[in-house]
Amino acid sequence: MGGVPPPPGGPPPPPMFAPSAPKGPTLPAGMTAKKTFKPETTMKRLNWQQLKPTVIKEESFWAKAQEDKFESSDLFTRLMATFGQKKITKKTTEVEKPQKKTKELKVLDGKSAQNLSIFLGTLKVPYQDLKDMILSVDDRLDEALLINLMKQLPDGEIIDALKEFKKQYDELHASEQFLCTLSDVSRLLPRLKHIQFMRQFDEMVGDIKPNIVSATAASQDILKSDRFKKFLELVLMVGNYMNSGSRNAQTLGFDISYLTRLKDTKNTENTFTMMHFLASMIEEQKDKRYNEVYGFIDDFKHIPKATRVTDDQLQKNIKVMKSALKLMEKDIESFGKKKDPKDKFSEVMSVFIEKAQDQFGLIEEMYENMVNCYDKISDFFCFDKKKKPMEDFFGQMNTFRQDYLDAVKENQRRKEMEEKQRKAKLAKEKAEREKEERKKKKQLAGLDLDAEGDQEGVMDSLLEALSSGKAFKKEGRRRTPRGDKAGNNRALERSRSRKQLVSPMSISTAISLDEVTADDFSASPQLKSNKTNNSNRQVYASMEDATGRSKAGRNRNRNPDTSAESLMAQLNALAN
């Protein structure tokens, strides 16, 4: 109609997948450039390592691979659904926001940018404010922030390269924008290290000083302890005595480390060691023979803390401090030439380094004194300080100290146990003696009236025996079986006859226990010669008749000389 028709044989429509033009080196024979795909969404990457065309040979698998046969729209759809960035479907009432365009990295690699982005996510300070904090050495730059920042910063060359992109600042990735901002700070990494050293200086001094003091004090404890020297003399004497006739006889001195092996020598019964022996001997004679030795272990007050001191670590820390102070001194001069009014590094660090150098000088003097003290110990006890470092020596001395204290405690426990056993033995012997005495008293109280002479208390014993029924008991009496009813009846009759024989009422009416004794019979003529006292005679007669009845009822009188008859006979003798 109106317009120029297209010429016949016009250009065909562009193919769906246009092959990319070959680039780089010539491809191996038979190979063509791979197709270029354009997925509808961003896909996750397969981070493989490409083979260079020059490596691929004509006979290799890669030269003959034909992956195009697997190409299909279904495969691409499933790949996008599984590994593609998902689109968020929103309600029709909301307007779909355009997808944010990802900024490409100019200088940084992906991993460094990702790590730096994570750090920036925790940083609550704008980039420019952080830059000003670094220049002014702000107190908000604490040690933790400095360590994390230096850990994420790339090399100084990469930071300097980002200066070229200041005009393209808005097009840079966030991590590169951060580095571009800090690129204006001269010698950024050395500056941050100096600030970190300033923050850590007091802590380093607090770690080094106590260790030097502890080691020096422990050395002086050993050198000044006269009691410890006496103890070594005692050990030397004991050792030469015990080593008599051996290759170690007449020893002039021994390695100080042997003190830790005193516990290895045991007595013949293997019940205690040489350490226990020495501790016990010193403790027992602390006021006499060994008064100059006793308490030597109390002189080692600083040795436990000195065991934590390592000379190599002290040297390393002092060397780090010295090197850091020298570098800072040089950088202060170079930074002082900068004309940036915000740069306060030289001003702040000059005040700090003046105080730091004074403290460091004191630390160096203390360290030299510590080394000199240990040199004196090595010379005094004749050992090689190179083969026996300070930490090894103090470790051995602390082991000896603890072994000696343990031996003292164990000796005390053993002594207390022996004392308990001695008291228990004495108590047992006393109990046996008292038991034997009680047994003898019982025998004396058991109607032993045949003894001539002393009859004092006989009447009391007699009446007590009658009252309790002991006078009618016979030793070796056979028990009556339970099933023997006749025996039970006889026992009942005997019990009744005893009650009739020895009734408290009958005895109390005739004889008062408090008033009449055997002495009364012997001393009173009236009781002895009064033949007309019917009441007394009736008592004796009734007791005699009851005794006879008891003998008849029991029907077991095989020996006519029973305890009851003997009792009555002695009663009659006393009455007459």
Domain count, the chain: 2
Q: Which pLDDT score, from 0 to 100, does residue 172 have?
A: 81
Burial readout 276-288 (b: 16 or more C-beta within 10 A, e: otherwise): bbbbbbbeeeeee
Q: Count other C-beta atoms under 10 Å from residue 79's C-beta.
A: 13
pLDDT score for 446: 59
More confident residue, 486 or 513: 486
Q: Which residues contact residue 441 at a Cβ distance below 8 angstroms, ignoring those fewer than 6 apart?
A: none
pLDDT of 403-447, one tens digit each? 999 999 998 998 889 889 999 999 999 999 988 888 888 877 654
How many angstroms separate the most distant Cα atoms in the chain? 189
Helix ranges (DSSP H) in 225-307: 226-242, 274-284, 303-306
Indicate the pTM of the whole model: 0.55
Spatial separation of the C-alpha atoms in residues 220 and 216, rounded to whole Å? 6
In a 13 Å sphere around the CA of 415, the CA atoms on its Cβ side amount to 13
The arithmetic mean of pLDDT across residues 337-341, rounded, is 72
CB of 497 closer than 8 Å to CB of 550: yes
CATH number at residue 138: 1.20.58.630
113: its two tokens: 């940018």
pLDDT digit string (tens) for 392-413?
Answer: 999 999 999 999 999 999 989 9
Q: Which of the four pLDDT bands, split at 50, 70 and 90, describes residue 61?
A: low
For residue 148, being part of any structural domain is answered with: yes
Does residue 212 fall inside a structural domain?
no
Task: Examine the pLDDT at 485 and tell me if it is beyond 60.
Answer: no
Could you tell me the pLDDT band of residue 109, with boundaries at 50, 70 and 90? Answer: confident
User: How many C-beta atoms surround the C-beta of residue 129 within 10 A?
Assistant: 14
Is residue 70 included in any domain, yes or no?
no
Q: Are 342 and 391 in contact (CB under 8 A)?
A: no
Domain endpoint, select from 188, 211, 243: 188
Residue with tokens 């501790």: 279
- Of 158, 188, 218, the domain-final residue: 188
332 within a domain of the structure (yes/no): no
pLDDT for 304 equals: 93
Residue 345's closest CA among 158, 141, 125?
Answer: 141
What is the band of 555 on the pLDDT scale with cuts at 50, 70, 90? very low
With beta carbons less than 8 A apart as the criterion, state whether 487 and 481 touch. yes
Give 144's contacts (C-beta < 8 A, 6+ positions apart): none
pLDDT of residue 183: 84
pLDDT digits (tens, 9 = 90+) for 278-301: 998 898 888 888 889 899 999 999
* Residue 207 lies inside a defined structural domain of this protein: no
> Is residue 552 pLDDT above 90, yes or no?
no
Which of 127, 161, 188 is the endpoint of a domain? 188
Q: Which domain holds residue 548?
A: 458-472+491-575
Does pLDDT of 105 surpass 90? no
**Mean local confidence (pLDDT), 131-140:** 88
Q: Quick check: is 412 in a domain?
A: no
The residue among 97 and 324 whose pLDDT is bigger is 324
- Measured in degrees and rounded to the nearest 5, phi and psi for residue 54 equal -70, -20
Domain membership flag for residue 518: yes
Closest to 219 measured CA to CA, from 443, 380, 111: 380
Angle at 575 between CA 572 and CA 576, to 5 degrees: 85
Please check whether residue 253 is in contact with residue 240, taking contact to mean a CB–CB distance below 8 angstroms: no
- Does residue 47 form part of some domain? no
